[in-house]
Structure 1
Amino acid sequence: MARMRKKSDLPVKSCATCGRPFAWRKKWAAVWDEVRYCSDKCRSERRKGDNST
């Protein structure tokens, strides 16, 4: 079994919408380079803003 990592040792990014930092998640392992938003809410808010212009 793999050793556990401390949460503070995980990679961190800033959300493109709200600017808050968010940490790597196991479900994002394959697509971490493409992840830009911390949540579905931020992703949908960004889309709403893009369509209004």
Structure 2
Amino acid sequence: MTLQGFKGNKQSLPRKPCAACGRDMVWRKSWAKNWAEVKFCSDACRKGKHA
């Protein structure tokens, strides 16, 4: 994903659900290189410690 036209409108960022809790995750710059592989919203969900 490229953010050339990004002007601060976060509504247009990609979203997908967390595999553990189902919470909607919004694209982050730190996930730019591996967005396709991101499955969990947090370390707690990744470790299976979600509520």
Q: TM-score, normalised by structure 2?
A: 0.78
Identity of aligned residues (%): 49
Query: Following superposition, which runs of at least 4 residues in structure 1 exceed 4 angstroms of deviation?
Result: none
CA distance, structure 2, for counterparts of residue 40 and residue 7 of structure 1: 23
Name structure 1 gaps, 5 residues minimum.
Answer: 47-53
Deviations 1:8-52 (A, max 9, x none): 110000000000101000000000000000111100117xxxxxx
| Count of aligned residue pairs for this structure pair | 45
Q: Does 1:27 align with 2:19?
A: no
Larger Rg: 1
RMSD between aligned alpha carbons?
1.6
Name structure 2 gaps, 5 residues minimum.
Answer: none
